[in-house]
Each structure stands twice: as C-alpha cells, then as structure tokens.
Chains A and B, each alone.
Chain A
C-alpha cells in the first residue's frame, strides 16, 4: 500500500528563519513520483515540485529547496528566509504510474500548517 506521512502538524517560525517540512513515504512501486503542493488560506492547491524515483538530485528554486533520499524514503522541503506569504498548509504527495508511465492518483499526507510570524 502507498502511504505518505507528514509528522509535523503545525510549525511556527519568525520571518527570515529557515524551516524544513518533513515527508516520509511508503510504496512498493519501483517507479513513482513525489510532489509538494501549497494550500494557502484561499484554499486552492498550488503545485510546487515533482520528482521521479530515479532522480535523487536535490533541487533549488529560489528560496525553496527539496532533498530526496530513497534510502530513508524521505522527500523534505526547506524554505530559506521564510516570509509571511509562505504561511499555508503544505502537502506532500505520492503517485505510482500506469498506462504508459503517466501518473495516476495522488496519495496525500495530512499536511503541515506553516505559520510565519512577522
């Protein structure tokens, strides 16, 4: 069975602090994809990043960075120099593949509520 665990329910930081959101996943698939989505107070899920199981290179995009480690089944997300606008619920998600390699359903974790205080 596939499962995503986000053990941190809520995190509160002060602006400009760095913060890391943890994500641990379980799957028996050899090919799979991992995602992070942001859900701001407005409610709409915003896609942030996708990684496939064959690419363990870390990725950096501006203040965001992601650390994928297959050995520990983790896909952690770090925000550097956090800002108030980063306040949101962040979801990690997992998907397998079928039908020619395209991903199918997303399995989400329970999310981490990040509150960035000014």
Chain B
C-alpha cells in the first residue's frame, strides 16, 4: 500500500506565474485534503473532497486558488498569478471516510515565489 504522493516536491516560480500541484492519495481513500504550512506554523486547512465533490473551502482559499478532483482519484491545486505570500509548503492528505478517521499526509510541495 503506497502512501500519499505529491508532485513536484519543490517549485520555484516568479511572481505572477501560475503553478499547479498534483496529489495522488492512498488508493481507495475517498477523502482528500489540502493544507498549507508556513515556517514555524501548523498546517492550515484549505479545502477537501469526498470523491469528486469539493465539500468545504477555507476562507484562506482566495479566488486565485482552485482545486479539482475530477475522477475522485488524484487532485490538482492551481494557484494563479502567484504572490510572494503564497510561498509555503502545500500538503495533501487522504483518509477513508466513515471507517477511518486518520488523515495520512504526503511529503508536500514546497513553493517559493520570487
């Protein structure tokens, strides 16, 4: 059973560019979560999906952020017109709703906006 994978692991981009991250959850996990973590802080919730349905979005998720999970398997998180304040570690987690309560995290994608 492979864990949660995220790609790329690192991304450096210039301010104003668009970036897209991918998350592959543990197979058969129907819930997928995105979090953002800045230095010295705990992860902050961004959004989550159950299968392909996006069930909740944080107020942190501005209009420049969009997430999809089109077939209920992998998910993408896109940031448009990146800003320096978007620099952070973006974490993905998955869980199996109704039978498991733990969220298992991937290694994260570190975004640096210059």
Contact = CB atoms under 8 A, between A and B. Distances in A.
Chains A and B bind each other: yes
Most buried by B among A33, A91, A105, A111: A105
Contacts of B91: 45
Given A99-B97, A108-B43, A110-B42, A35 B56 contact: no
Q: How large is the interface on A (under 10, 10 to 19, 20 to 34, 35 or more residues)?
A: 20 to 34
A106 B45 contact: yes
Contacts of A91: 42-43
A117 to B, nearest CB: 21
Interface stretch (B16-24, B72-80, B104-112): B104-112
B102 A35 contact: yes
Most buried by B among A4, A50, A93, A104: A104
Interface in A95-110: 95, 99-110
25 contacts: A33-B101, A37-B105, A42-B107, A43-B89, A43-B107, A44-B105, A44-B108, A45-B93, A45-B105, A47-B104, A93-B42, A99-B55, A99-B97, A102-B97, A103-B95, A103-B101, A105-B33, A105-B45, A106-B43, A106-B103, A108-B44, A109-B42, A110-B41, A111-B41, A111-B42
